[in-house]
Structure 1
Amino acid sequence: MTYMVDASRIFMRFLKGFRKTAVFAITTRCNCRCMMCDMYKKPPRSISFEDARKVLDFLYENKFLIVYFTGGEPTLHPDVIDIVKYANDLGFVTAMTTNGTVSRDTLVKLKEAGLYLLSVSFDHWEPEICEKIRRHKGIKDKQERTIRLCKEIGLRTHTLTFLNSYVLRDGVERLIEYVNEKLGVPFGFCYPVKTNSSFYSLGQNLSEEEVSY
């Protein structure tokens, strides 16, 4: 029933001209040291709740439909629940990406605040490779636990995989099968991105042949 109400609300907003998507990085704070990201090398910064409200008001006035919260690790922002709730109260479809280290209590509060979708980063089926990519001990177990908890509390979730040389070498199809069948959730890709920023460079260490795989 809740899913039907959400779909109806989204459709009505779409008919009113709300069509655009914003990716909103609310913090650079993170508890991983990912091989494709340099954020951890700089002092962490987070937007204040008041400034986040101003950004969301601006997006609403300009007919954005979806707000995708990211970071850093957005669940480490001290006001993440209030930010999601404010966005939900404005009528946005709210989504968020996480590295999978989020607690059950935070997941429950995010769902209660109105979060529509949680994307969980997931890099490989081998724990050692996941730790090599994220530089975080036990990261694969934490990601799988987060996915299980989302399913348990009824929070929509799927995985996101950035294109990395390990999964290209070992088999993209095998990873998709692992996620779909073992974890029981949809699978998604973060595609290679060209950027002038040193913060986050997806796929820039891949060969042309790997990118075109």
Structure 2
Amino acid sequence: MDHKNRGTLRLVLEEGGPGVCTFAINNACNARCGFCNFALDKLPREDWVYVSRKGALDALDILYAQGIRYLVITGGEPTMHPDLGVIVKRGADLDMKVMLVTNGGLLRPERIRDLVTAGISSFIISIDAATVESHERNRGLPGVCDKIREANRQLKELKIHATASVTMSRLVDYEALPGFLESLGFTSVTFSYPLRQLGSSFLGYSDSHLVDFTNEELDEAFERIKRLKKRFLVLNPTPSLEEMQRFVKHETQRFPCLGGFQYFHLDWHLMLWRCHYWEKPMCSIYEFDGSQRIRDGCTRCMIDCYRDSSVMQYIGVSVHDAYQAVRAGKLGEAAKAITRPANLGSLRAILEELPWLLRF
């Protein structure tokens, strides 16, 4: 199927909505985070890998042809990649919404201007704690908070939005967090759920005590985040937080993950994965033609970027299923798809996050 030049409505009807891909363009990092195996003091420099310029540009063309419209560039630390601006520009030229995940340590004013000129849509900047001292100590990046504050000031002038990304760890003081984020210039936050093991090449996990929680502790942390929504714009939808509480309680979940169907992970070797958690890649990006898509109702993990997005796109997939059923003359199946109980939760998630979604 030719996926080029298709609008959002057609993508919803034909595929369940526009696709999303996280693209780890390198595994190198300049930070020393205690809960991450990309850390400078954990991954030897001789093992650092940067995706080639040609490979990255080829990959974006292929992803776009397969309906990917949202690109999340990550690493490692992606600002260490010498071709970052070129990669951003290709994504923007394809009319993708390009987001950059960074620790902010290399966000100098001229670099920010270059990325904005290239077409970046938004920044996601990592924050680990509610004080300068605790955050910079965990990151191993002295002075990074001043750089983040200045970056946010500049981005506001350029009308580009930045969101704080906070890993749920033992460093987080949820009560003090909103004031600290505001002092750095943030107006929104997204929480990354703690990861202690992954099966893919992605190293954004650790068995550190910082992310070692009991299920009861995780349940309470999700409650704190839900309460935090009354004080600060939290981008994790409430229905998704409730889903993660069901996950840690081993209860039946309502929203299957769309990893491998609408959401993908591409690594620095140009291997395409259904998500960070899965043990086996789907294929090389050069082999990706859509036939490898997987939709099996997976609920194995609690990776926020897949699970949160899957909640919001659930209703889009239901519309897709109904449309395809009508085309096949299966009106009963179409009615079942439209009346799925979880559609209301998905719609609730979309409405809750609408102020952020409209920024795109």
TM-score w.r.t. the length of structure 2 is 0.52
172-181 or 30-39, which deviates more: 172-181
Of 47, 52, 57, the residue aligned with 2:51 is 47
- Which residue pairs with 1:23 in the alignment? 22
Q: Kindly tell me: are residues 148 and 67 of structure 1, through their superposed partners in 2, closer, same or farther at Cα, counting changes over 3 Å?
A: same
Q: Secondary structure at the match of 1:142?
A: helix
1:63 partnered with 2:70: no
Superposition deviation, residue 191 in structure 1: 1.8
- Which residue pairs with 2:139 in the alignment? 134
Segments of 4+ in structure 1 off by > 6 A?
A: none
Q: What is the percent sequence identity of the aligned residues? A: 28
- Which residue pairs with 2:104 in the alignment? 100
AA in 2 matched with 1:63: G
Question: CA separation in 2, counterparts of 1:141 and 1:154?
Answer: 20
Question: CA separation in 1, counterparts of 2:7 and 2:48?
Answer: 35
Of 50, 73, 76, the residue aligned with 1:72 is 76
Q: Kindly tell me: are residues 72 and 184 of structure 1, through their superposed partners in 2, closer, same or farther at Cα, counting changes over 3 Å?
A: closer
Within 5 Å, give how 1:48-197 maps onto structure 2: 48-101=52-105, 102-167=107-172, 171-180=173-182, 183-193=185-195, 194-196=197-199
Instruction: State the Cα deviation string for residues 7-59 of structure 1 (Å, max 9, x = none).
Output: xxxxx832231511100000112211111212232322110110001211111
Question: CA separation in 1, counterparts of 2:170 and 2:21?
Answer: 29
Superposition deviation, residue 106 in structure 1: 0.8
Is the contact between residue 37 and residue 200 of structure 1 (CA under 8 Å) also seen in structure 2?
yes
- Alpha-carbon RMSD across the aligned residues, in angstroms, is 2.1
Superposition deviation, residue 206 in structure 1: 2.9
Q: Kindly tell me: are residues 116 and 44 of structure 1, through their superposed partners in 2, closer, same or farther at Cα, counting changes over 3 Å?
A: same
TM-score w.r.t. the length of structure 1 is 0.85
Is the contact between residue 121 and residue 143 of structure 1 (CA under 8 Å) also seen in structure 2?
no
Is the contact between residue 169 and residue 194 of structure 2 (CA under 8 Å) also seen in structure 1?
no
AA in 2 matched with 1:37: C
AA in 1 matched with 2:25: I
Structure 1 regions of 5+ residues with no counterpart?
Answer: 1-11
Is the contact between residue 23 and residue 69 of structure 1 (CA under 8 Å) also seen in structure 2?
yes
AA in 2 matched with 1:174: A
Question: CA separation in 1, counterparts of 2:64 and 2:92?
Answer: 11
Superposition deviation, residue 149 in structure 1: 2.1
Structure 2 regions of 5+ residues with no counterpart?
Answer: 1-5, 12-16, 222-360
Instruction: State the Cα deviation string for residues 53-108 of structure 1 (Å, max 9, x = none).
Output: 12111111110110000001111110000100001111111101110111111111
175-184 or 79-88, which deviates more: 175-184
Q: Kindly tell me: are residues 62 and 36 of structure 1, through their superposed partners in 2, closer, same or farther at Cα, counting changes over 3 Å?
A: same
Instruction: State the Cα deviation string for residues 169-210 of structure 1 (Å, max 9, x = none).
Output: xx3132024324762421111122451357211774333233
Q: How many residues are paired up?
A: 199
Q: Secondary structure at the match of 2:99?
A: strand
- Which residue pairs with 1:209 in the alignment? 216
Q: Kindly tell me: are residues 46 and 63 of structure 1, through their superposed partners in 2, closer, same or farther at Cα, counting changes over 3 Å?
A: same
